[in-house]
């Protein structure tokens, strides 16, 4: 009898341990499922908050288009002609959506250069202007063109796949457009200091038009037909609180009453046409970067969207989570 009792006791203990193990596993699974469920709920809530902030800012931008500012000051006069002037400061900040704080950063895309639209000479001009080193600028311009073109033949001062492999670099040329401006950090010759200096002026989004009333000098310098004299005139007009209404106005302010020869007139007409093709005088595209977070333990949700206007119609022309 005793051996049987011992076997029964061992069997009972085994069953207890097995049941406890199963119960523990169920508990762990339930906890994980609960954590996943809560995480999914937080992400859903954060997406809803970000979407709500987008609609709120879009409505504000639409209202600005439809409302004429009152007042006699320079700021009111400028904003009456361009209701989105100064979006970076006017629409950036923390918005309350369903009593939850959501951070929004607004950027006038007319103040940046779309790096995917620039040719080699324009890249060289931009880097040379910002870095004040035209040897480095030439190498970076060629390396960027090699990064985006479809072939594997490097330019004289550029770099293709084999050069990246030999240098032990982490990434290889994409042979296509930049998806994000952060990818520029992987281009051969790009350093953290150079990237920090040039990245504020660059983007991979937008139609590539440069706003003459808000773009910095480094961005306007790249425009075809731009000269130091034209650039100086634009900056001077802006510093006096004047709004630029056309490229022709800039040319007129630059020349004053000076008489020009036929050749000079023809050259200026070419410059005007070239500038007009890539320049804008209004803020037409606003990039919104929206960050929402349900709680301190949640991973933040990021939404980017472009709000555009055409013929007084405001719409979201692009968005990405």
CA–CA distance from 53 to each of 108, 152, 214, 235, 313 (Å)? 18, 44, 25, 35, 19
| The predicted structure's pLDDT at residue 234 | 96
Q: Residue 293 has which token pair?
A: 């977070």
In angstroms, the CA 276 to CA 247 distance is 6
* 253-269 tens-digit pLDDT: 887 767 778 888 888 89
| The predicted structure's pLDDT at residue 303 | 97
More confident residue, 268 or 180: 180
In angstroms, the CA 29 to CA 49 distance is 30
In angstroms, the CA 295 to CA 304 distance is 21
| SS (HEC) of 207-269 | CCCEECCCCCHHHHCCCCCCCHHHHHHHHHHHHCCCCCCCHHHHHHHHHCCCCCCHHHHHHHH
Q: Residue 266 has which token pair?
A: 């023809």
Q: Residue 138 has which token pair?
A: 């030439």
3-state class (DSSP) for residue 99: coil
Confidence of residue 128 (pLDDT cuts 50, 70, 90): very high
Would you kindly state where each structural domain of the chain is located, as residue ranges?
A: 1-112+215-243+275-321
In angstroms, the CA 160 to CA 310 distance is 41
- Of 80-89, 128-137, 206-215, least confident by mean pLDDT is 80-89
* pLDDT at residue 244 greater than cutoff 70: yes
Pick from 59, 49, 46, 97: nearest CA to 307: 59
The angle formed by the CA atoms of residues 52, 54 and 56, to the nearest 5 degrees, is 70
DSSP string, 55-97: HHHHHHHHHHHHSPPPSSSHHHHHHHH-TTTTHHHHS-EEEEE
| The predicted structure's pLDDT at residue 5 | 63
Partners of 100 in beta bridges: 97
| The predicted structure's pLDDT at residue 127 | 98
**Total-model pTM:** 0.83
Say if residues 83 and 67 touch (Cβ distance below 8 Å).
yes
């Amino acid at each position: 009898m005793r051996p049987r009792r011992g076997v029964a006791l061992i069997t009972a203990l085994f069953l207890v341990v097995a049941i406890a193990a199963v119960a523990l596993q169920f508990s762990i699974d339930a906890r994980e499922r609960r954590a996943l469920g809560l995480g999914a709920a937080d992400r859903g809530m954060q997406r809803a908050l970000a979407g709500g902030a987008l609609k709120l800012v879009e409505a504000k931008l639409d209202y600005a288009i439809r409302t004429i500012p009152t007042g006699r000051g320079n700021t009111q006069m400028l904003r009456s002609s361009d209701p989105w002037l100064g979006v970076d400061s006017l629409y950036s900040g923390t918005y309350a959506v369903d009593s939850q704080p959501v951070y929004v950063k607004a950027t006038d895309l007319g103040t940046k250069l779309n790096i995917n639209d620039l040719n080699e000479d324009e890249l060289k001009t931009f880097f040379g202007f910002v870095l004040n080193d035209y040897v480095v600028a030439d190498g970076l311009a060629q390396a960027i063109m090699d990064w985006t073109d479809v072939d594997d033949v490097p330019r004289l001062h550029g770099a293709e796949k084999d050069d990246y492999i030999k240098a032990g670099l982490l990434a290889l040329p994409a042979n296509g457009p930049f998806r994000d401006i952060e990818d520029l950090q992987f281009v051969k010759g790009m350093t953290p200091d150079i990237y920090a200096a040039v990245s504020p002026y660059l983007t991979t989004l937008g139609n590539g038009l440069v706003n003459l009333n808000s773009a910095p000098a480094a961005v306007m310098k790249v425009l075809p037909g731009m000269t130091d004299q034209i650039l100086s005139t634009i900056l001077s007009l802006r510093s006096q609180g004047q709004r630029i209404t056309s490229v022709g106005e800039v040319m007129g302010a630059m020349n004053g009453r000076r008489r020009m020869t036929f050749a000079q007139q023809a050259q200026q007409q070419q410059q005007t046409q070239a500038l007009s093709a890539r320049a804008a005088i209004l803020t037409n595209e606003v990039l919104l970067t929206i960050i929402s977070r349900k709680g301190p333990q949640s991973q933040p949700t990021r939404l980017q969207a472009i709000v555009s206007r055409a013929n007084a119609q405001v719409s979201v022309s692009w968005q990405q989570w």
